[in-house]
Amino acid sequence: MEFREAILAIRPNVDAELLGRAYEVAARCLYGQRRRSGDPYITHSVAVTKMLAGLAITDDQMLCAAMLHDAMHRTPYTLPALQRDFGSGIAAMVAGIVTLDRFGQPNHYKASEIMATLCSTDARVVTLKLVDRLHNMQTLQFLSQARQLQKARNTLDIFLPAAQQLGIRSIGSELQTLAFAALIRNRPAGPPRLRAIVALDIEQSTTRPDLVKAEFRIMLYELFEAALRSAGIGPDHRAPFVDRGDGLLALVDPAELAPLLSRVLPVFAQLLAGYNASLPPRRQLRVRVVVHAGQVRRDDNGYFGEALDIACRLLDAPEAKAALKAAPEPLLLVISSHIRDSLAARATTGLEYYRHLVTTHVAGREHPGWVCVPTVP
């Protein structure tokens, strides 16, 4: 028998007669059943048994239980019949595997409950279940996207800690790799889109009391929204603002780049100055702004992309913070080299001057920025 010869090649001292009987029972019970891949279901039992045979902690009972666990779980073959045919030790092990199966399904079990169950379960049963999960993760591509995500998360939450607790590093490492790959594969990013990127940050907001910080955040959003409205840039021409804690991120249709520079930012500077006019210095709003443009992507976790990294790093550069601290105006504007190079004519931008000041590095490349003063339109 090909299966018996394969196991003997891995484990020469195996009880071949016992394992051969287990194979015959499993093959008979699972006859006609197929996996999502289209393969006969017995191929899963065989694969799990072969992987288990390569572990030093494995014994003959574990190999027999591995071959039989789906026969009892998926067919009319009962636990009493299994006990009669293979003894109470193997039957108890198979029953233990079936008990652990509930943790592999969508559920609301607490982590403490799961770990308590695993700690009180025969380590051989837990090991067998880990190998069973490993083979299921190796053939995950035949499940729906939702099931792949569920199994990947379930693997990271339950089975990876169990493998680490038992010290089975090889299984734990492969489970982790397969789970991460499934999470990435099944949550693809949307297509890249060209956007004008405006990142704003409130200067020294973290040093203010919470009530002042709340006031700053409210006014930052309201004043910048008003500046956008003044140029006719409404929700149809931009994405919803993204919160940055002490600032915000605005992604605008690139067709609006010229009015963004020639009108929005000058009006925003004007509104800032008006807001600060009657306030003491400690309550005045001072803001750093970066304008950049490039391709951005979006997934379930929000926006990302190298262009966003460039904008945010220019915004947070020490030189930009120092320049605003020294400036009399409440607004410091930095434009990226990409924006500067794409401006058709300086006179139409509303930017009074450029001065190379800020430099950052992203993806191994240098990205300079220029400090600008928006002029009143």
Contacts of 181 (CB under 8 A, 6+ apart): none
User: Same domain, yes or no, for 340 and 202?
Assistant: yes
Choose among 301, 308, 36: nearest CA to 147.
36
Residue after which a domain boundary falls, among 162, 185, 208? 185
**C-alpha dihedral (83, 86, 92, 95), degrees to nearest 10:** -80
Domain encompassing residue 29: 2-185
62 and 166 inside one domain: yes
- 151, 205: one domain: no
Q: Are 369 and 335 in contact (CB under 8 A)?
A: yes
Q: Which of 152, 185, 218 is the last residue of a domain?
A: 185
Residues 293, 243 within the same domain? yes
Verify that 317 and 174 share a domain, yes or no: no
Rounded CA separation 318/309 (Å): 16
Same domain, 240 and 366: yes
Q: What is the mean pLDDT of the chain?
A: 88
CATH code of 359's domain: 3.30.70.1230
| 132 and 165 belong to one structural domain | yes
62 and 170 part of one domain: yes
Between 357 and 335, residue with greater pLDDT:
335
pLDDT at res. 108:
60
C-alpha span between 225 and 232 (Å, rounded): 11
Residue 375 Cα distances to 174, 289, 328, 332, angstroms: 59, 15, 14, 12
Residues 71, 113 within the same domain: yes
Query: Is residue 79 within a helix (H) or strand (E), and if so which, with residue range?
Result: helix 79-86
pLDDT in tens, 338-368: 888 776 544 445 555 556 688 899 988 999 9
- Domain boundary (133, 150, 185) is at 185
Please tell me the distance from the alpha carbon of residue 308 to that of residue 330, in angstroms, as a whole number: 24
Residues 308 and 166 in one domain: no
pLDDT of residue 353: 53
Q: What mean pLDDT comes out for the span 258-284?
A: 92
Q: What is the CATH number of the domain that holds 162?
A: 1.10.3210.10
Chain segment 125-149, per-residue pLDDT in tens: 999 999 999 999 999 999 999 999 9
Same-domain status, 308 and 173: no
- pLDDT tens digits, 171-226: 999 999 999 999 988 887 789 999 999 999 998 887 788 888 899 999 999 999 99
Task: List the one residue out of 193, 182, 97 whose CA is nearest residue 139.
Answer: 182
Specify the pLDDT at position 239.
Answer: 94
Statement: residue 39 has pLDDT above 90: yes
Same domain assignment for residues 157 and 211? no
| Distance of alpha carbon 42 from the chain centroid | 35
On the question of pLDDT at 119 being above 60, the answer is: yes
User: How many domains does one find in the chain?
Assistant: 2
